[in-house]
Structure 1
């Protein structure tokens, strides 16, 4: 797994005149520091997290819920059948998945990130004066697959080792999420690929059950039973205790979870990790980012995430690499060459899976 480190610190600088954003706060009657000091390196300003009213409706039995139109009924001309080249090449298949991700967001149009300053993994200073996400379009989290994904994120205890309690409502949300993404192009392509490789059943309901089991079935970590799942680890994140009482963040490789937790004030973005090649620093257009952050005050010294991709794309990509690849899967995804790192728990469970930038 990716390494961890610790970070703290902060300083205060005198100022002669309040900056524009602070003057605006004063005019609007917000609380300010009357001593003329500007806080640097302490808590950043956080936006209000977006929550859709629809999320509560996902707790109903899946058969009572409404879903999007099936992809095949909307896009008659788009083919989701794998080619011979794609069946013989995992990187070709991953590139095709990227092309089929119609719900992927557009940087600058749907959201904006501020990467701040770069750092090396072992550096402890907070190099980001702002949040990673400066804004997200109001309609983004209302997209059906995004909205159902968000509804799953509060179903888990982030502290690794505590037995998870799965309610009937949680199961409804899981089933409804799988049903929603199963109507999209990336998941339909994944199904056809795994069928042709002899991994999945031709029956689509059986395939959906396989996805549910792979991602949501609970398993044990560190000697504790039923305390984790592939979905929780990869997309939500976990906080685990090390020896001598130290803690570290494990997993947490999803940009939507990052955005929501940052908006709540639970995540403190600390800066991006310098890329392997000099002169190729990330910017607001970057959709593969390696960062450092704190979650609930616990440091994640290095974490890679795809930014702006849809939940269905990410789940399809990681599932494909789990079944068809090994621990290291060097593939091309759009403009990026990545190593999709895949760790197994036994032979049939995802321990962790995440992208590492290769260029």
Structure 2
């Protein structure tokens, strides 16, 4: 048996294989170990300058040193070694076939235990588990494992049995009755589910390689590698699914859309990050154990239509997925819209004009808080979303936070940053999900979204009208307005206008005007143009070629 155990041991973690994947040389690694091994192989040496380093295209097997091309999809591009997994499962069963006695039973012999609490260090049969270890109060935070997988323990006498009332009370108060057990210390060292999901997002894209951000240009995403998006199954399914949606039309689910939704969920469930979320939620008792049961629950949560009632009394069908990942409009105002791929897709159609932003780097991914105009409307829209993360990561993260997080706000650490994940309910459904950086002044944005989720109203209208009236009253003191008037005077002095393309006007502002008159430091052209447009100094229209034309008004 010892020689068999050696054959079933992963060469990286030196433990029995977990979800083994097959390398081109026929050796195997645990899926998690393969992911870590690939990441280490692609890590730039600290002594090598970033501008000189190039990621290797080949990698060596840790067992035989055979060199093979790095798969395009990393670990998700490797085949599962199902045969090896079955052998490992049978080996584990043969090692754990010894029944564990319940430590709480009064009768002799005691019943066989079904669960072992890793915190209380006791094993329970089904009857005693309900009587002595109910999953409520402080005990709900304890970890239960299958008794067959735990180390058998000798039954303890009744005088040494723990007082469950005191255990629950101490747990609720956040203080232990005594020193931490070994299991407790081990648990504290493990990463939480949120940082684990972040680490397992193997399909996330890298800025500067797979896409670029230009926070001062005409487009937020001047470059996104469509080839990469088409090669990754979840991205391809997500983008195909976006074609089903029209943000201006109420969401009525057709048979084709249901099939596309389930196909998207299937691709997500094939990834390690969604499998980890499923395993975590199942252990918490939040979701079914089977893949199909979990998929059906995800479909009901994200794609079942419900009704949103807006402030003007208009009701329209919506879904959690449409509102969070796609966005929907009311009175020409965009609501929801918390996904970077959807933002990129709509930006390509010319529907978005970026005004201002806040950027936060989270490891090799980004969170953006942005202010933009939808289809050249004066009404501003604020939004926040991850950039570079995969669709399956966001679906997994929001699902875990909604079902097992901290209520409407879940505090997490992702990429070394403290982040709040908002998951608001709307009549029992998912109303809205998005990230917020902790420490950032988000009061206005937070209240706006909360009103949307709690009252299903068109939350922006009143706030926007108040903002516009205040701005009009103080327009003479607005530095952006003064900057705009100076720019218009420059155009008149140079006999430029009264009509020209928006791109040309932007170039004049950023190059000729800046050099001649001294542009306000860091002022984006879009903010100046929006101020002039709001105060009736210019007019923006689109010609039959799709080009934005700026007209200077008298």
TM over 0.5: yes
Aligned to 1:334: 415
Whether the aligned pair in 1 keeps the contact of 2:253 and 2:305 (CA below 8 Å) is no
Render the CA deviation track for 1:116-163: whole Å, top value 9, x for unaligned: 2xxxxxxxxxxxx4211121123222021001001121323323xx54
Q: Write the distance in 2 (CA, Å) between the matches of 1:236 and 1:305.
A: 12
Aligned to 2:267: 180
Match of 2:287, SS state, is coil
Aligned to 1:258: 343
Out of 147, 158, 162, the residue aligned to residue 247 of structure 2 is 158
When residues 293 and 282 of structure 1 are mapped into structure 2, their CA distance, relative to the original with a 3 A threshold, is farther
Aligned to 1:318: 398
Match of 2:260, SS state, is helix
Query: Alignment RMSD, CA only?
Result: 3.2
When residues 226 and 172 of structure 1 are mapped into structure 2, their CA distance, relative to the original with a 3 A threshold, is farther
Compare the two structures and name the one with the higher helix fraction. 2
Out of 294, 297, 322, the residue aligned to residue 376 of structure 2 is 297
Asked if 1:234 corresponds to 2:288, the answer is no
Out of 236, 241, 245, the residue aligned to residue 147 of structure 1 is 236
Aligned to 2:281: 194
Q: Write the distance in 2 (CA, Å) between the matches of 1:269 and 1:148.
A: 27
**Uncovered stretches (5+) of structure 2, i.e. residues with no partner:** 1-72, 85-141, 144-183, 440-554
Within 5 A, what are the aligned runs for 1:33-48?
none
| CA displacement at 1:168 relative to structure 2 | 1.6
| CA displacement at 1:269 relative to structure 2 | 1.8
Whether the aligned pair in 2 keeps the contact of 1:148 and 1:177 (CA below 8 Å) is yes
| CA displacement at 1:224 relative to structure 2 | 6.0
| CA displacement at 1:284 relative to structure 2 | 12
Aligned to 2:501: none
| CA displacement at 1:96 relative to structure 2 | 0.6
TM-score where L is the length of structure 2: 0.43
Q: Write the distance in 2 (CA, Å) between the matches of 1:337 and 1:151.
A: 33
Q: Write the distance in 1 (CA, Å) between the matches of 2:374 and 2:190.
A: 34
Render the CA deviation track for 1:232-279: whole Å, top value 9, x for unaligned: 0001101123xxxxx532100100011111111112222214x7xxxx
Render the CA deviation track for 1:167-203: whole Å, top value 9, x for unaligned: 2211111110011111001110111011100011111
Aligned to 2:215: 115
When residues 305 and 163 of structure 1 are mapped into structure 2, their CA distance, relative to the original with a 3 A threshold, is closer
Q: Write the distance in 2 (CA, Å) between the matches of 1:201 and 1:283.
A: 32
Whether the aligned pair in 2 keeps the contact of 1:114 and 1:131 (CA below 8 Å) is yes
> Whose RCO is larger (CA < 8 A, sep 6+)?
1
TM-score where L is the length of structure 1: 0.65
Whether the aligned pair in 1 keeps the contact of 2:365 and 2:388 (CA below 8 Å) is no
Render the CA deviation track for 1:35-63: whole Å, top value 9, x for unaligned: xxxxxxxxxxxxxxxxxxxxxxxxxxxxx
Render the CA deviation track for 1:285-338: whole Å, top value 9, x for unaligned: 761111111223344532111001000000000001000121111111113221
Q: Which has the larger radius of gyration?
A: 2
When residues 203 and 224 of structure 1 are mapped into structure 2, their CA distance, relative to the original with a 3 A threshold, is farther
Alignment: residue pair count: 261
